[in-house]
Structure 1
């Protein structure tokens, strides 16, 4: 680092050197069986992941682009609990995880997966962000994480996740459930429920409904159950012909549940293969509706 205008007593060129050791091992078991009359392969995949990073005092280093990763099943196998390059978390821990999958024996396609796991800590986590309270994390284990994903049919999929933390009074830390429909021809429906203890509890519904080859309806409703308020809602219509396309969307949006919502109307006109006028609504719809694409060839 090469820093300027540091407070008295702080270095202008602090440095850090750390080393990390990780060992990732697992076993794979499978058996052939039947699932409601269909031939399937069922797997059992235990996994052990050991991570060691010695503690290095990093209190003199700034936090330019570093934050703590949100905890999930993938977090069980991360080498660093922080994003960015400003902090390297100290670690002496072992992850125990188990995954089971059901695969179609004929095609190899996965139609059911269940995973669970937990981290066991052998030492306290001393490296903290400057924005945190500065207290050392002394829990001897992480939250218990479980995830399930299933393909119900060719067009329907569902998934759920749960984080259960025995160190909290309210032990359910996070929960999520989702159902998705996609027929591969632009007809979409998504429903999601998400809960994060003390932060949010909300539902999110979105859809895309083709009326014919040229006209399409789109919409989304993001509702906070914690605040009994609509955080975002939009509805729109699309027209697409061989030579040009247009999109018109009415949107209500708020960042703070206690604030008055902002309301906007957005219009986009596009000449096929040439240029686009107005707001880039197609990108906005791709971000807001899972599975939506403005390019039918994708």
Structure 2
């Protein structure tokens, strides 16, 4: 098991900070993301823990508590099944205070908590072919946040990966309907020589599957 706990103590007021108030007068608020008083003596308390239940199951959790507002700022928990290298199944849940910004005609300037569920996996079908997928859902507002599906081929001399999907971009100001950015990544690697492609998709995979080891 691995457990961390930390908090910052400030020796003077901050002159530079994250603040969305027009007048610049931010105060601690449990309902508004990024509002932290420049005169606060301490930061929120951040904690995280990783527990290996056995050789194939593990869980990771994090929690940030704002002592000034006596409220949770954000939290997350993930369960991971990994019997072998790059055989990964992962299920997670996260909460972020005021993570939903609903700025439109129907609900102008409203920020609500973001409850998000994520599932992902990478699994070899045989020594050469593997599949991978990532899906994240906004439970609070009931729309997709991210969805990707891909396949890769790996041999002694060359490798190929194709990954495609979409990522949430914004909400329509009039209808509060989600808009997405569509993405496709193609990567070809000639081992010992180099790679070619429009972008390296391994960072996306490893963001949602931290235990994944890029074979390219």
Other-structure match for 2:133? 219
**Which deviations, in whole Å up to 9, do the C-alpha atoms of 1:140-172 show, x marking residues without a partner?**
655444433211011221122223335327x22
Q: Which runs of 5+ in 1 are unaligned?
A: 1-111
In the TM superposition, residue 209 of structure 1 has moved relative to its aligned partner by: 0.6
Q: Whole-Å Cα distance in 2 between the matches of residues 185 and 253 of structure 1? A: 27
**In 1, distance between residues paired with 2:14 and 2:133?**
44
**Equivalent residue, structure 1, for 2:147:** 233
CA distance in 2, matches of 1:206, 1:149: 18
Between structures 1 and 2, the one with greater strand share = 2
Which protein, 1 or 2, shows the higher relative CO under an 8 Å CA cutoff with sep ≥ 6? 2
Counterpart for residue 193 of structure 2: 274
Larger radius of gyration: 1
2:92 matched to 1:192?
Answer: yes
Q: Deviations over 1:47-105 (max 9, x none)?
A: xxxxxxxxxxxxxxxxxxxxxxxxxxxxxxxxxxxxxxxxxxxxxxxxxxxxxxxxxxx
Q: Which whole-Å CA distance do the structure 2 matches of 1:282 and 1:215 have between them?
A: 16
CA distance in 1, matches of 2:56, 2:127: 20
Report the Cα offset of residue 252 of structure 1.
Answer: 1.3
Give the CA RMSD over aligned residues.
2.9
**Structure 2, gaps ≥5 residues long:** 27-36, 100-113, 172-176
- Corresponding residue for residue 83 of structure 2: 183
Residue by residue over 1:33-54, the C-alpha shift from the partner in whole angstroms, topping out at 9 and shown as x without a partner, is: xxxxxxxxxxxxxxxxxxxxxx
Q: What SS does the aligned partner of 2:131 have?
A: strand
Structure 1 runs, 4 residues or longer, greater than 6 Å off: none
Between Structure 1 and Structure 2, how many residues are aligned? Answer: 182
Task: Give TM-score, length-normalised by structure 2.
Answer: 0.69
2:48 aligns with one of 143, 147, 159: 147
Residues 128 and 181 from structure 1, CA distance in 2 versus in 1: closer, same or farther, beyond 3 angstroms? farther
Q: Is the 8 A contact 2:118 2:135 kept in 1?
A: yes
Map Cα deviations across residues 153-204 of structure 1 (whole Å, 9 max, x no partner). 11221122223335327x2222211112333422012222221211233122
Matched residue of 1:285: which SS? helix
